[in-house]
A = this chain, B = another copy of it.
Amino acid sequence: MSTISSRMAVAVHVLAYLAWRRDEPVTSERMAGSVNTNAVVVRRIMGSLRNAGLVSVQPGVGGGAQLAREPQDITLLDVYRAVEEKEELFALHSEPCRHCDIGSNIRQVLQGVFCQAHQAMQGVLGEVTIADVFRQVQVHGGGCGGAARELVDELVGAQAHHA
């Protein structure tokens, strides 16, 4: 399956970084160093985040990016909507046969179920903020344990982590 692009992961990483360096502008070069990618890739994503009003960017000497909102006011759903322009998570097959009982109606049914599934996913993202992510990253500084587990359990309840 083609996954949701890593732009989402990079964007959250960068925003957590900006929450860490809340006071000073950070250059794309520095962020690229932390993410381990190319500065242009970071700038492309920053463009999306800027359009969504999540960061403010300043060119020129001493420039860089800063959060445009408090970290607790940016959810991962905001980020998702900013960097993934697609509105549908599941692709539908085009033009099923209209002359047969299944083909003529399947699209509507699929669209409804797939939309619900997509929204359930977005609901989880909407419950987690950049502040949550940043705090968990800090709490578990240097560790390799269940940081994620604790965060999600705390925020979205106790569904099994890998089942």
Contacts and interface: CB of A to CB of B under 8 A. Distances in A.
Interface in A42-92: 76, 84-86, 88-92
User: For A16, A91, A97, A109, which residue has the most chain B Cβ atoms within 10 angstroms?
Assistant: A109
A113 B76 contact: yes
A12 B116 contact: no
Interface string A105-122: 110111111111111111
For the complex formed by this chain, how many copies does it contain in all? 2
A93 B20 contact: no
Contact of A36 (B9, B37, B93, B119): B93
Contacts of A112: 146-149, 151-152, 161
A102 B148 contact: no
B101 A36 contact: no
